[in-house]
Amino acid sequence: MGALVNRPLAGDMFAKSFQPEKQLSQKTTNKLSEAIRNSKQVKSVVNECINEFKTNRDTYCSKDIEFTGHSDLHLSVGKAKVEVQVVQIEDKYWADVTVTDTYDFDEFRKDISFGSIMNNIGFYIQNQNILVPYEWDVNYAVLVE
C-alpha cells in the first residue's frame, strides 16, 4: 500500500497489522524514529515542555498530537502521545522523549479526503478482524540550548 501512495511508513505499518506476531522491521523503525524526531509537531511539544519546566519546574510533560496533511506520518501514525522528561544541565536542557500510540483504525470518517478514505478501508478491515491493532513507541533524547 505504501508504495502505491509513496508513503513507505504507512505501507509498512499497515502491512504489520496483518502479521501481529512479527515486529516492525529495523528499517521501518529507523524511518519512523527519524520522521518523528524531525517532525514540527514533536519539536513543538519538546519546546513547550522545556518552557513549562523553566516556568514551574515540572520535569514531566505529556501532550497528545496529531500529524496532519498528506504526510507519511499523517497516514501511518495520525494521532500519538508525546511524553517528555526534562533535566537542566547548566544552561541547557536534556529532554528524554517518548512517542507512543496504538496502530489502529478507531473511527469511521465522513469526509472524502484521501487520508479518510484510506482510514475507512482500514476501519472496515479491522472490524472484520482481518488486521490486528498493535502498540508501538519511539524513544530518543535531545539536548536543547
In tens, the pLDDT along 9-26 reads 988 999 999 988 888 999
> Residue 62: which of 83, 40, 86 has the closest Cα?
83
Band of the pLDDT at 4, cuts 50, 70, 90? very low
Cα-flanking dihedrals φ and ψ of residue 99, to 5°?
A: -115, 125
Residue 121 CA to residue 13 CA, distance in Å, equals: 15
Q: Determine the average pLDDT of the residues in 136-142.
A: 96
Three cell numbers written together for 99: 512517542
Domains of the chain by residue range: 8-144
In tens, the pLDDT along 56-107 reads 998 999 999 999 876 889 889 999 999 999 999 999 999 999 999 999 998 8
In tens, the pLDDT along 106-123 reads 889 898 887 788 888 999
Residue 103 CA to residue 77 CA, distance in Å, equals: 7
